[in-house]
A and B are shown apart, each in its own frame.
Chain A
Amino acid sequence: MVLSINNLTKRYGYLAALSGVSFSIEKGSVFGILGPNGSGKTTTLGIVLGVINSTGGSYQWFDNQTTDNPRKRVGAILETPNFYHYLSAYKNLQIAADIKGVGYHNIEGMLKLVNLFERKDYAFSTFSLGMKQRLAIASALLANPEVLVLDEPTNGLDPQGIAEIRELIIAIAKQGKTIILASHMLDEVEKVCTHAVVLQKGKVLTSGKVSDILGSNDIIEIAAWDFEKLESLAKSHPMIKSLIKNNAGKLELTFSGTVATSDLNDYFHKQGVSISHLILRKKTLEAQFLELIKKGT
C-alpha cells in the first residue's frame, strides 16, 4: 500500500471536519478523493502531508517501510500553489529541490514539461493563476516522486488549462506513478481515476473502483398503452433493481447487470405488452453523485 488511512478524525472545536475516515491506496492507482466543498478532502490530505494535526486515528505512508521522512518520496500540492512571491520560478524550484534533497538537474526539464521554461527567470508574483498552478505541478514532480498528491489541480483554470492539466496527469499516471487527486469535479475524477473514495461531511460515503462507484447504472425508460400491466411485468423482471414512475408518465427502470434494450422489448412483447416508448439513458455522473450524497444525509 502506498497510503493507509485508519479512522482519521479532525475536530475544530465542536465541528467535526473528519469523523472516522478510513481508506487505503494501492501502488500504481490513480486515486480520486471526491466530495463537495467542505467534505474533508483537503483536511484529509493536510493530515497525511503533515501540516494539519489530526484529533484521532492514524495514517501510514509506504507501510512504514521508509526510514527517512516519507514526504520526500511524495510530491504534493495542497489547495494553492505556495511559493516565494519575489523569487523567480527557477529559484523557487531550487528551494524545493534543496528541501527534497535532490540536485537541480531536473528543474529545466520540469519547467519545459509545464511550459514555463521561457518564464523561468520571472518572479512568481508576475504569473497568472494557471502558470502558478503549473509551476506547483513542476515543483511536485521535481524529485521524481513515487506518489503525486494533487488537491483541486484545475481549480480556477480555464477550459484549456483544465484540459492541459488533465493530459499531464494521465501522462504521469502512465509512467506508473501513484496519483492521489482530490476534486469536486466529477468528470475530472471519472476521466483520470481508477479508484475513488467519496467523502461527505467528513465521512466516507463509498469507496472502490471508479467503475463500480460511478459505474454502469443505466436507466431504461419505457412506456406502453397498458401501463398497469407494463408496471407489474417490469416488477417481476428477474434482474430489476429499481422502478420509478417519472413526471412524464413513463417508467424508469434500472437493472442489476446489463440488460439489452432489445431483450427487454422481447420480454414485454412475449407477455403481450407492446412497448410504445423505449429509451436507454446513461445516468449522468452528476445525478449519480447527487444520489450518493442524498443517501448519505
Chain B
Amino acid sequence: MMKLLSIEFKKVLSYSAFWVFISLYAALLLLVFLAFATFKMPGMPSNMPTSNPLFIFPALWHTLTYVAGWFNLLFGVLIVILITNEFTFRTVRQNIIDGWSVNQFVSAKVLLLVFLALAATIYVFLIGIVYGLIASPSKTGADIFGQMDFVLAYFVQALGYFSFALFMGTLFKKAGMGIIFFLLYTKIIEFLIGLPLPDKIENCLPFHSMSKLISFPIEIPGMSVDTSPLGIQFGFALFYSCLFILGTWLLLKKRDI
C-alpha cells in the first residue's frame, strides 16, 4: 500500500501544477479565513482580534470548515488534471503494461486522494487551533474540542469531492472536459436536478448531502444552526465516495485502456 502511494508521490511531486494548486489552496484558504475573522464593522470595539462568536472556540470549527469547503473545488480541479494526465500521456496504459492491475492503479489513485484529503484536513486543523488559541477568550478543553467533529466532517466532505473529481476525470479523459463537467455538476446541474424534487429527496443528492454535512454556520431567522454534523450525512458522503470510486474502477475495467 505504501509502495503504491510512494509511486503516486513520484508522479506528482515534480509536477509544477501540483504545487501551484496546493499553494493556491493554502494561501487562499488562510487569507479568506483571516479576512472574515478579522473583518470589523466600522464602530466596533477594536481591543480584541475579534469578538465575533463565529470565530472563537467552539463555533470556529464550524465556520472554518465551512469556508474550507469552498476550496474543495480547487483541489477537485487539481485531481481532474492529475487523472486526465494519465490518459493524455497514456501512462495509465504503460502502468498496466509494466505490471499493475487495474485494481492497483485505482487503489494508488484512491490512496493519493485520501492522503490529499487528510493533508488538507490537517492544514485546516492547524489554522483552527492556532487562530483559535490566539483569538478565543476561553481555552477550556470543552470549548476547544467542542465542535471539532466538523474537522472530521470536512475530511469526509473533501473525500467526496475528490472522488467525484477522479470519476469525472476518468469519464472524460480530457482535462478541459473533466474540469468543466466537474464544476458544472457540483455547482449547477445538481442544483437544477434538485429543483423539482421534494426537499427530502433533494437532500439525498451527492453534493446536497455533502454540503449538509457542514451547514451554513450563521444563524438566520427561523432556522437554528447545527452544532455538530449529522451522522446520516456522514453515511451519505461516504456512500457517494465509494460509488464514484466504484464507477472509476468499472470504467477502467470495461474500457480499453
Residue numbers of A with Cβ under 8 A of B are 46, 49-53, 69, 71-72, 76, 78, 80, 82-88, 91, 94-96, 98-101, 139
CB of B126 within 8 Å of the partner chain? no
Once the chains are docked, how many angstroms separate the CA of A41 from the CA of B222? 69
Question: CB-CB < 8 A to B15: which residues of A?
Answer: 84, 86-87
Q: Is the CB of A91 within 8 A of B97?
A: no
* Between-chain CB contacts (< 8 Å), 14 pairs: A49-B96, A50-B97, A53-B256, A69-B101, A82-B93, A85-B89, A87-B11, A91-B10, A94-B10, A98-B6, A99-B98, A100-B98, A101-B99, A139-B98
Classify chain B: how many residues form its interface, as a range: 20 to 34
CB of B187 within 8 Å of the partner chain? no
Q: Is the CB of A84 within 8 A of B99?
A: no
- Closest Cβ–Cβ distance, residue A70 to chain B (whole Å): 9
Top 6 A-B residue pairs of the complex, sorted by shortest distance between their CB atoms: A82-B94, A72-B99, A82-B90, A51-B257, A99-B98, A52-B256
- B196-227: CB near A (< 8 Å → 1, else 0) gives 00000000000000000000000000000000
Once the chains are docked, how many angstroms separate the CA of A111 from the CA of B234? 50
Question: CB-CB < 8 A to B99: which residues of A?
Answer: 69, 71-72, 99-101
Residue numbers of B with Cβ under 8 A of A are 3, 6-7, 10-11, 14-16, 85, 89-91, 93-101, 254-257
Question: CB-CB < 8 A to A52: which residues of B?
Answer: 256-257
**Which of A46, A72, A83 contacts B89 (CB under 8 A)?**
A83
In the complex where A51-B256, A69-B99, A101-B99 touch, is A95 in contact with B93 (Cβ < 8 A)? no
Once the chains are docked, how many angstroms separate the CA of A99 from the CA of B94? 10
Question: CB-CB < 8 A to A100: which residues of B?
Answer: 98-99
Once the chains are docked, how many angstroms separate the CA of A88 from the CA of B97? 20
In the complex where A52-B257, A53-B256 touch, is A96 in contact with B16 (Cβ < 8 A)? no
In the complex where A46-B256, A53-B254, A98-B6 touch, is A84 in contact with B89 (Cβ < 8 A)? yes
Q: Is the CB of A86 within 8 A of B93?
A: no
Once the chains are docked, how many angstroms separate the CA of A71 from the CA of B105? 15
Q: Is the CB of B98 within 8 A of A96?
A: yes
Q: Is the CB of B11 within 8 A of A50?
A: no
Q: Which one of B90, B96, B99, B256 has the highest number of Cβ atoms from chain A below 10 Å of its Cβ?
A: B99
**Which of A69, A91, A101 contacts B14 (CB under 8 A)?**
A91
In the complex where A53-B254, A84-B85 touch, is A99 in contact with B100 (Cβ < 8 A)? yes
In the complex where A69-B99, A76-B97, A87-B14 touch, is A95 in contact with B89 (Cβ < 8 A)? no
Q: Is the CB of B3 within 8 A of A98?
A: yes
Q: Is the CB of B90 within 8 A of A80?
A: yes
- Closest Cβ–Cβ distance, residue B105 to chain A (whole Å): 10
Question: CB-CB < 8 A to B100: which residues of A?
Answer: 69, 99
- Beyond known contacts A76-B97, A82-B93, A100-B98: 17 more, CB 8 A cutoff: A53-B255, A69-B100, A71-B98, A78-B93, A82-B91, A84-B11, A84-B89, A87-B11, A87-B14, A91-B14, A94-B10, A95-B7, A95-B11, A98-B3, A98-B6, A100-B99, A101-B99
Closest to A78 in B: B97
Question: CB-CB < 8 A to B16: which residues of A?
Answer: 86
Closest to A50 in B: B96
